[in-house]
Every structure is written in C-alpha cells, then in structure tokens.
Amino acid sequence: MQPVNRMKTEFLSKSANESFARVVAASFVAQADPSIDILADIRTAVSEAVTNSVIHGYEEKEGVITMECILYQDHVEIIIEDFGKGIPDIEQARTPLFTTRPDLERSGMGFTVMETFMDSLEVESTPGKGTKIRMTKQLVSR
C-alpha cells in the first residue's frame, strides 16, 4: 500500500511535549478529514504513548522521542519510539491497571487506552535500548 503522506518529528522527553505531540499528530491526520471522534481517539493514544516514554522510558530524565505518522488512503499508522530503558515484560505492562509507578498516581491504563482507542497496537521493546509503539487507526471518511 502506497502512503498518501508521511511526517516524522523528534522532540525531547519533556512532559510539556505530551500536548505538543498529540496536537501535531492530530493536525497531520486532519488533512484526511476524519471525524472529530477519530481525531480525539488519536490525540488520546498519542498522549499515552509519549507519556509512557517520558515517565518510564526515560524516567523523567532527558532523552529523545520520535514520532512518525504515515497516512494511507483509509488509515493512519503512528510510530512512537524512545531510546530509553525499555520494558522488561511487555505482557505485564499491557495488563490493565498494572503500573510500576503508583507513587505518581498512574492508573495503569496507558496501554489499555491505546488498545481501546486505536485499531491495532504493537509494542517492540529491548531492555536498555528502548521501546517502539506502532498503532493504526481507520479513517472512515464522512
């Protein structure tokens, strides 16, 4: 399948960039004219993925996060990658309500939100190397 459009951006793992990332992703996807609900789902999923990199990947220290959005005729693929500490047990991390940071009042819902709000979610992670999240969402035209 031939992409219609593509963009890639890179930013520091600062919590202020959580809103930057979701606004940028939504603006890029908006050119496909999806519904408001689809855009809201994408914003939420991007926010969760970037927050995971900030809190868990880099443990709130400085690092680099990249976000790539590939737009196809009927769907978008969003790839969010960090080069932080990685996830030792992906299955456990994806379990609803599981969190390693209850001290931060994390709900343990991050991956569950990404799974629920997007159509697919793949997680690749190597401890010590980083984590790559690949999500897709159908963009049903109005």
Partner 1 sequence: MDVRFKRDGAALIAMIEGEIDHHSSRILKERIDSKFIMEPVKDMIMDLSRVTFMDSAGIGLIMGRMKKVSSVGGKMSIRNPRPEIMKMLKMSNIESLIKLDA
Query: Which residues are the active-site residues?
Result: 48, 52, 106
CB 82 within 8 A of CB 57: yes
Rg (CA), the chain: 14
Among 42, 70, 117, 132, binds partner 1 (CB under 8 A): 117
Interface with partner 1, residue 51, by CB under 8 A? yes
Interface with partner 1, residue 84, by CB under 8 A? no
As a whole number of angstroms, the distance between CA 12 and CA 15 comes to 9
Interface with partner 1, residue 116, by CB under 8 A? yes
Interface with partner 1, residue 83, by CB under 8 A? no
CA-to-CA separations, 31 to 28, 34, 50, 73, 140, in angstroms, rounded: 6, 8, 22, 11, 13
Nearer to partner 1 by C-beta: 59 or 126?
Answer: 59
Q: Are strands 64-71 and 75-82 parallel, antiparallel or unpaired?
A: antiparallel
Residues 7-36 touching partner 1, rule: CB under 8 A, are: 15-16, 18-19, 22, 36
Residue count of the chain, please give it.
142
Residues that bind partner 1 (CB under 8 A): 15-16, 18-19, 22, 36, 40-41, 43-44, 47-48, 51, 54-55, 104-107, 109-110, 112-113, 116-117
